[in-house]
Amino acid sequence: MLLSVVTPMYNEREAVDQFVARLRPALDGLGAEYEVVAVDDGSTDATVSRLLQLRADWPQLRVVSLRRNVGHQTALRAGFQAVRGEYVVSIDADLQDPPEVIGEMLALARRDQVDVVYGVRSDRSTDSAFKRNSAGLYYWTMRRLVGSSLSDQAGDFRLMSRAVVTVLNSLQEPRPVYRLVVPSLGFSSGEVRYARQERVAGRTKYPLSRMVRLTFDSVTGFSAAPLRLATWLGLFSFLLCVALIVTALVAWGSGGVVPGWTSLYIAVLLLGGIQLICLGLLGEYVGRIYMASQQRPPYLIAHDTASPAPAETSVPAVRTPS
């Protein structure tokens, strides 16, 4: 049995030594064959060169370098397509997810014969209040879209069987959000609880802009419900309009005049705003269709320590189920 560990890394030079120092003993202690695939997501610091140094006395470490920064989820995808293991674990490189939990995950998966084991954060007190609250709101919304199979506070620290990874690799959508896609597939699952630690070094690579983008991808990837918002708002405006016509006619019949200016510009601006929001929403979906139709490779591999093939030929075969 081979266990594969996928770790996306973006400018993690400061964290990588401590990460390896804890991951390695945790994996060596499992008594199972394993490989670690570090996906360098176009880092601009010395992450890659340090990884290559570490590889010299840790042959199980494989370094896959992407040509440019493609983001956490797509880096994970590159990892999932590169690994060969029967079980695949994805873990962040900043030690917020404790590597020691991997053993527990593997034991649970084998004992209960489940396909997915989620790492669930039971304690996020080390995250900032803003991060906790925004995450709370995110999971609350997503549970409504994906369904209750979505475990609260399950991020990207999880173990999956080969069957799950095969399905993930065959997805055609441009930017799958794995933490939502995996629960939605309906594989049997278990949970391991752990306390979320503080980042050991470096800064978060998820500024607000990326969190907003993840949220947009999550919502548009799972539901067309926002499109229906336009219909409801339109219906509401229409009913309101009918009511106003009646009021105006009654006022006119009784010789009065409805005062105009304020109500007029409120109506115009409100409707204009609503229309722009609905157009923007529509645009999000059209944009996804457009990107899917372009069929560009979501990432390109610049260098992979496991394959001596020249980089240009290692374009991922993402469009064909593997």
- With CB cut-offs between 5 and 8 Å by kind, which of Mg ion, ligand UDP, none does residue 69 bind? ligand UDP
Q: 86-115 mask for Mg ion (x: CB under 5 A)?
A: ------x-x-x-------------------
| Window 198-257: residues binding ligand UDP (CB under 6 A) | 204-206
| Window 297-316: residues binding ligand UDP (CB under 6 A) | none
| Contact call for residue 179 and ligand UDP (CB under 6 A) | no
Least CB distance to ligand UDP at residue 8 (A): 3
Least CB distance to Mg ion at residue 12 (A): 10
- Among 77, 283, 268, smallest CA distance to 182 is for 77
Question: Which amino acid is present at 222?
Answer: F
Cα(252)–Cα(103) distance, rounded to whole angstroms?
A: 78
| Contact call for residue 41 and ligand UDP (CB under 6 A) | yes
92, 115, 217, 304: residue in contact with ligand UDP (rule CB under 6 A): 92
Cβ proximity of 180 and 218 under 8 Å: yes
Instruction: Considering the complex, state which of residue 201 and residue 274 has its C-beta at the smaller distance from ligand UDP.
Output: 201
Classified as helix, coil or strand, 54 is: helix
301 Cβ partners below 8 Å, 6+ apart? 64, 65, 66, 67, 78, 311, 314, 315, 316
Instruction: Considering the complex, state which of residue 15 and residue 54 has its C-beta at the smaller distance from Mg ion.
Output: 15
Torsion angle of C-alpha atoms 240, 242, 243, 249, degrees rounded to 10? 140
- Under DSSP, the state recorded for 311 is G
33-40 sheet: strands from edge to edge:
189-195, 116-123, 154-161, 87-90, 2-9, 33-40, 61-66, 301-304
Instruction: Considering the complex, state which of residue 14 and residue 94 has its C-beta at the smaller distance from Mg ion.
Output: 94
Tokens at 109, concatenated = 């998966």
Cα(149)–Cα(18) distance, rounded to whole angstroms?
A: 34
282 Cβ partners below 8 Å, 6+ apart? 227, 230
Stretch of 4-12, 158-166, 223-231, 307-315 contacting ligand UDP, by CB under 6 A: 4-12
Instruction: Considering the complex, state which of residue 100 and residue 112 has its C-beta at the smaller distance from Mg ion.
Output: 100
Instruction: Considering the complex, state which of residue 92 and residue 115 has its C-beta at the smaller distance from Mg ion.
Output: 92
Instruction: Considering the complex, state which of residue 41 and residue 115 has its C-beta at the smaller distance from ligand UDP.
Output: 41
Can you give the binding site for Mg ion, defined by CB under 5 A? 92, 94, 96
Can you give the binding site for ligand UDP, defined by CB under 6 A? 8-10, 12, 41, 69, 71-72, 75, 92-94, 96, 204-206
